[in-house]
Structures are given as C-alpha cells and as structure tokens.
Amino acid sequence: MTRTSLAVVLAAGEATRMKSSRSKVLHSVGNLPLIAHVTRAAASAGVSKVALVIGRDGEAVTEAARSGHNVVVTPVEQTERKGTGHAVLAARDIIAEGFDDIVVLYGDAPLIDPASLSAAAAERVRGADVVVLGFQAADPTGYGRLIEQDGELVAIREHKEASAEELAIDFCNGGIITFSGAQAISLLEAIGNDNLKGEYYLTDIVEIARARGLRCVAVKAPEEDMMGCNTRAELAEIEQVWQARARHAAMVSGVSMVDPSSVFLSHDTELGHDVMIEPNVWFGPGVRVGPGAVIHGFSHIEGAEIGAGAQIGPFARLRPGTDLAEKSKVGNFCEIKQAKVGAGAKINHLSYVGDAIVGPGSNIGAGTITCNYDGQNKHLTEIGANAFIGSNSSLVAPVRVGDGAYVGSGSVVTADVPDDALAIARAPQQTKPGRAHRLREKIAAIKALRKSGPGESGQ
C-alpha cells in the first residue's frame, strides 16, 4: 500500500535581512524561486500534498510554489509569528485529513535533495516515529545540536541553551523533521514556549515524543542540503552550490565545459550529449540544446531551441522564441529573437534577425537587420531557402525574399523579392573627379575658423 505524505512548507518569512520589497522565498536560484525548488524536491520524494504556510506576498508565493510539478499545494496563512512549532500548527486542518507521514520543510532552503527526504521517510517505514535530518557542521556555531544515545535521538538543544558539553557536538540540526501523521497534532499541541525567546520550538517535539515512549532518530545529510537563505550574500552562496551541482550533472551526462565555473545554467536547461560550452555563457530559462552543438564564449541565451550540430557565438544573444535548426550558425555579435532559422542557415556577423523565418541553407550577410517594428506592431520577414542577403541590408517587414533570391549589399528592401530574383535597393553612386581636394580645403578652413574663437575673427 502506498504511503501518504504531507509536506508542511514554512514560507511566511518577512525577508527583513534580505532588505527586499518581496518575500525572500520569491528570490531565485537557477532562475527558479526558492520556494519552487523546495516543493519540487518534496514532489520528487513522493510527497502527495503540500500545506504552504504563507504570510507576506501570499498569492505570489503560492503561485511560485505550484510551478513546474504535479503535487497539490494548499496555502494556509500564518497570522502571528510565534516560532516554528506554532507555524506548523497553522496547517492543523490539513494535517487532520490524515497522512502516514508529515515532513516539515523551509521555503528558503532550496538545496534539499529528494534523496535526503527519502532517507528520512525510509526510517519512518522502519518504525521511527520522529526523524530529524542533521549534518556534520564544519562550524557548528549557532546551530542546534543533535544529542544521541545508543543510536537514538534524545534531544535537540538550541545553541543558546546548550551546555558546554553539548556545544562540543558538531552533529547539528538541519531543521527538517519527519514524524508520524497519526501522532502529529497531539505532539504539536504539546509544544510549550518556556524558553528564552518565548517561542514554540518545533525541535521540542523530540523530547515530547520520547517522553511518550516514541522512537526518535537522526539521519545525516550533506551540510549544503540544509543551507538556508536570510541575506543576499547567503543567496549568492546557495546559487554557487546549485550551479556547481547543475554543471556536474550536465558533464556527467556528456556535456563538455571548458571552464565550468563561468557557465550559468537555469533550472530547466536541457543540454544534449556532446554539446561543447566555452567560457562565460549564460543560459536563461527555457533553453534546449541539441546533441553536438557548440556554444562559443560570452553568449547569452534564453527561451531558445538550438538544433543538433548548431554553432552559436561568440558574443551571440538568443532571445525568447529563437528556434535554430540543425547545423545552423549564429555568429559573433548577432541577436536573434522570435525567429525560426532553417537547417544549415548562417547568420554570421553583427546582424539582428527578429520576427522572421529564415529558410534552410540561406546566408545572412554582416550587418543585416530585419526591421520588424513600426512603433506599434511587429511584422514578419520571410527569407526562403538558399537565399543570399548581402551585407548591411535592411529588410523592412512585412516582406518576403524568395527561395534562391539574392539581395545586393547595402539594400533597403521594402517590397517582396521573387524566387531566384536579384534585388538591389540603393541610391545610384555619384562620382565627381577632383572634388575630394576641394572638400578637404573647405573642411580645414571651417576647423581653423572654429579654433580662432569668436573674439578673434574680427581683428
């Protein structure tokens, strides 16, 4: 029989130390809100429902928590701040629905690995009533200590209330606790606030459970799994850890990175095998790269589909709606937006292609611009298969350049070009012999007059 599990996710923090105009759980790591990382991990670990304890920005937090996974998220509001035990009881009505397991998670701790949650759940299956995730701290200062005897957890002692002997312990509380759903409300209601802060500590649940003859254990997880975010500096540290994990996973799957630490990935970046990524590449949300593609250095990519064997950059910008077919090429200092580029097509240098369709095998010369915006609306530029657009051309949309057509360099194309036609749209050149010398003399005289100043011209 499948076990049922409820995650109570605490996400009502005020972000005071973040000094932010929005809830801290809405800040992002890997271009995904912190809270969404947590609910995704819960879903991956088999949680069947999430009770989301909200406060500030409740609607936005709930929407973010629901993004990208298939677990039911039900918000509950915490109107007062009286400690973690009090916060969990805000979800009393949902807890009362009846679950085998209750797991308490934190909306500002996005690095939790589903494997760690599964390890805690496995201890529940083996008979433990309360399971606490802990970690071996490099520096335990400030953390609650996990006190064990004979393989069982007997207490969690807050740092400020720990004895000298207890402070020597480096096995610390990660904050994540899994406990029996049948016992949950009774245990939570028994938590008191007789402590220095006058708050209801969820950690007291261990000693309460043991006093009732229930079994409590601690499960060790990596310290970085427990990293929480209270400041912008901590957010940056968490980003670094998340990026390192994502890069490592990509390289294990067959992606090459010349300088991994300089590559920035997003939560949904998809990279095929044999993709090569050079230094200083940024992937925003919604990017998928096909096998064998090469992303040259200093490229900025978001919302783009890149086909197998394509080459991007260096210094290319691909914006949302870019769809590049196999073996296409976007070169240095090019920008592509909302454009479909066919197989083998080349946009090599210093060009802007937006709201466009470029046929297979076509060549877009340096400095080409699709003039897609009239100040009110966007218009489509269509370039057929095997067309050639000469350098420094402007294609004024809506316009179509046909299959095999040729546009002469420097043209401003305002009318459709039929298949296999040559279009030259530029003013005729005028050449005037001997005029260059006279022009230089005139320019020099003007310059001299300006340098003499207005007060000197009449002397």
Which sequence positions are flagged as catalytic? 349
Tell me, rounded to whole angstroms, the distance of Cα 139 from its chain centroid: 29
Question: To which residue do tokens 């406990």 refer?
Answer: 179
| CB of 176 closer than 8 Å to CB of 117 | yes
17 burial via Cβ count (<10 Å: 0-12, 13-18, 19+): middle
In 3D space, the residue among 110, 97, 127 whose CA is nearest the CA of residue 44 turns out to be 110
In 3D space, the residue among 54, 63, 68, 65 whose CA is nearest the CA of residue 268 turns out to be 68
Phi, psi dihedral angles at 449 (to 5 degrees): -65, -40
Cα 400 to Cα 148, 369, 396: the distances in Å are 75, 14, 9
Peptide bond into 433 cis (omega under 30): no
Question: DSSP H helical segments within 28-153, as ranges?
Answer: 34-44, 58-65, 84-89, 92-95, 114-125
Q: What angle, rounded to 10 degrees, do the helices at 34-44 and 58-65 form?
A: 40
CB burial string 3-13: b at 16+ within 10 A, e below: eebbbbbbbbb
Q: How far apart are CA 361 and CA 374, in angstroms?
A: 29
Pairing, β 32-33 against β 28-29:
antiparallel
Q: Which helix (H) or strand (E) holds 187?
A: helix 184-189
Torsion on CA atoms 352, 353, 359, 363, rounded to nearest 10: 0
Show Cβ contacts of residue 103 under 8 Å, excluding neighbours closer than 6 positions. Answer: 5, 6, 7, 8, 42, 47, 117, 120, 121, 176, 177, 178
Q: How far apart are CA 218 and CA 169, in angstroms?
A: 14
Q: How far apart are CA 287 and CA 324, in angstroms?
A: 11
